[in-house]
A and B are shown apart, each in its own frame.
Chain A
Amino acid sequence: MNDIAIHVENISKKYIIGALQERHDTLRDLIVSAFRQPFARKKNQENRVLWALRDISFDIHRGSVVGIVGRNGAGKSTLLKVLSRVTEPTSGVGEIRGRVGSLLEVGTGFHPELTGRENIFLNGAILGMKRTEIEKKFDEIVEFSEVTRFIDTPVKRYSSGMYLRLAFAVAAHLEPDILVVDEVLAVGDAEFQRKCLGKMSDVAEQGRTVLFVSHNMSAILRLTEETLVLEKGKVIMRAPSPEAVDFYLSSGFAETGERYWQGDEIPASAAPFRPLALRIRNGQGLVMDTVRSVEDMSIEFEYQLFAPISGLRIGFYLMSTRGEFVFTTFDTDEPALFEKLTLRPAGRYISRCKIPADTFNEGRFVVGINASSYRIQRYFQDERALTFNVDPAGAPGMQWPEQRLGPIRPRLDWQIEVI
């Protein structure tokens, strides 16, 4: 029992949707609604219940690094919130041995008017560090964050990269017994990301427990031994990471080469954007989940705008099931098209991207989508919207029945000269 760091038993968490969507922000609203439907409330409430977590039970051993993956809304963040005591479970019990430290979203708890030095102390205290601990670690934190020169500058003058580095540095030096990391590596340059991952494996090597939530499958594979897959508030799989990631990426709706979005899968923050469907079409234009590598294929995304959006771009991210990115492309990559479509009026659209033959190697690929206005707003994102298979029949080099390495399989122009 002593080497268990986290033990949870039948944890459930209920949210009343009404409390979010129709929140009585003011007393007046509450009074008005009480008069309008004095008896109806009880009955309606049943429909508005959302179980963010349902009957979750697991044990996590001390010193293990466990990944948590799941689609948006699967309950990952709620689980972390319950484990770090930000919110209480609706039912179920748990036992946490040791101090929990969470790596916060960039700069939560930072005050823009205070200097880097002051924020280190403030942030450390928020994360539960003692003053003496912070003093002891101070130089190390500053060095790790690479902001030494600006340590006495108010952080509002920092670049977002510096901000992030400082925030990570404080949390990483917190030395909690259990470190909870929620998708922090999504930002920052590659060099710093590497450094953060390195720091996290150090933490694990010191016998601390790490819970790592990410949509970045390659980071999950690199860092974690074991992964929990969450879906609709339940742990649907717990397995060694390669197995779990494979399951996660290829599970579900990929059978038909088509994906629709239902109302509850679309976050409220997406408005006025609404995703409708994503389809993979083969060389004949048929919707298929398997395409041939020697034929053209296309990916199309259907969506609706309820209001005009300026600077909108629709992006496809192609990934292997191992989580490596193959390429990223946006519908307004072409500068002329970008100029022309500065404002996309309300209406229903399809953004279709044709991918030429001889692009992919054999295997399974994941399409992620993103709808955003650059540096303004991200309307919608789904990192694993759909998966498809590539059949290599007829591809270059098929005369040798061996596996070709790498996610792409281009048909290249070789010349062999006798000299």
Chain B
Amino acid sequence: MSVEQNQLPVTYLKPAKGLAALNLRDLWDYRELIYFLTWRDLKVRYKQTLLGFSWVILQPVINMVVFTILFGELLSVPTGGIPYPIFSFAALLPWTYFAGSLSRSSTTLVGSANLISKVYFPRMVIPISGVLSGFVDFAIAFIILVIMMLFYRIIPTWNLLLLPLFLILAMLTALGFGLWLSALNVRFRDINHLVPFIIEIWKYATPVIYGSALIPEKYRFLLGLNPLTGVVEGFRWAILGEKYVQSFNPEPLFIISIAITFVVLISGTLFFRNTERTFADII
């Protein structure tokens, strides 16, 4: 009996002082909750919708059609010789994933107020599952990309193997900003109104409808300060191959984007961890 008792986990209650530790161990213990919340999110998202999972495909495809007409045909945005539809779709794919993930991870925490004020679990579980559930949508929309590559006879290069890395970069960026915004949202509900607006502006600040080559080389590093530039151009580079990047040199963009992402992610985690102890009291 005493052996069993010694094995019981001991929890210490104490007021938090100073900076909270990252405590990733705690998060690992609750990995199954992350799985279930992600799974719930997926189950619920398309219930009682007429088109169900088709929405996942329709959203980027309609965007692509509109962009192709507006920017590809009417405004003739330079694409370095790449057909505009696939040029924009290769960017819309990660963008749609990012926008959805950011919006979910910033707002679902407040949506779970009921849970937060009643049960203990590491609060980071919620924004994390918010960025994970977008992967399924991404995978489905990816099929369209494959079809388009066949249609435009684009031969994949070895670069394609690095695509998952850029997807992870998109996820970490969404998580980093999502942690900041969701923690702030607990205190200031303004964030709920702000997020769609941020995403709207961000879309134009990211080379989705245009390419980085459009920006003069002198200022191109500024574009890299937006981590999504690295993601989007990374996708194009992985899918369309070297031919696409002939017109500009993408490596510095990637490095700046990755660095920024990690700064945001680490600071976001610290901020979240340090404010989460008051969530139950003020949410």
Show the binding face of A for B, using Cβ within 8 Å.
Answer: 2-3, 8, 11, 15, 19, 23-28, 30, 62, 81-100, 102, 104-105, 108-109, 111, 113-114, 118, 121-122, 125-128, 130-131, 177
Q: How far is the CB of B110 from chain A (nearest CB, A)?
A: 11
CB-CB under 8 A from A127, the residues of chain B are: 119
Sampled A-B contacts (15; CB under 8 Å): A2-B6, A8-B13, A19-B281, A82-B13, A85-B11, A85-B120, A86-B119, A88-B14, A88-B16, A96-B10, A99-B8, A113-B43, A125-B33, A125-B36, A128-B33
CB-CB under 8 A from B47, the residues of chain A are: 113
Cβ contacts B46-57/A at 8 Å (1 or 0 each) = 011000000000
Q: How far is the CA of A104 from the CA of B116 in the complex (A)?
A: 12
Given A91-B15, A105-B118, A131-B32, 11 more contacts at CB 8 Å? A11-B13, A23-B282, A24-B188, A30-B188, A85-B120, A88-B277, A89-B15, A92-B15, A98-B9, A128-B30, A131-B35
CB-CB under 8 A from A95, the residues of chain B are: 10-13
Q: Is the CB of A88 within 8 A of B13?
A: yes
Which listed residue (B9, B32, B44) contacts A99, Cβ 8 A?
A: B9
Which listed residue (B2, B16, B115, B280) contacts A2, Cβ 8 A?
A: B2
- Interface residue B5 (Cβ < 8 Å from any Cβ of A): yes
Q: Is the CB of B12 within 8 A of A98?
A: no
Q: How far is the CA of A26 from the CA of B117 in the complex (A)?
A: 20
> Tally of A-B residue pairs with Cβ under 8 A?
124
Within 8 A of A (CB), among B1-25: 2, 5-6, 8-16
- Interface residue B28 (Cβ < 8 Å from any Cβ of A): no
Q: How far is the CB of A89 from chain B (nearest CB, A)?
A: 6
Q: How far is the CA of A30 from the CA of B189 in the complex (A)?
A: 12
Q: Which single residue of chain B is at the shortest CB-CB distance from A121?
A: B36
Which listed residue (A8, A25, A87, A108) contacts B188, Cβ 8 A?
A: A25
Q: Is the CB of A89 within 8 A of B120?
A: no
CB-CB under 8 A from A84, the residues of chain B are: 119-120
CB-CB under 8 A from A24, the residues of chain B are: 187-188
Q: Which single residue of chain A is at the shortest CB-CB distance from B188?
A: A27
Q: How far is the CB of B21 from chain A (nearest CB, A)?
A: 14
Q: How far is the CA of A98 from the CA of B32 in the complex (A)?
A: 20
Q: How far is the CB of A249 from chain B (nearest CB, A)?
A: 29
- Interface residue B152 (Cβ < 8 Å from any Cβ of A): no
Which listed residue (B5, B13, B32, B189) contacts A130, Cβ 8 A?
A: B32
Which listed residue (A26, A96, A109) contacts B13, Cβ 8 A?
A: A96
Q: How far is the CB of B174 from chain A (nearest CB, A)?
A: 23
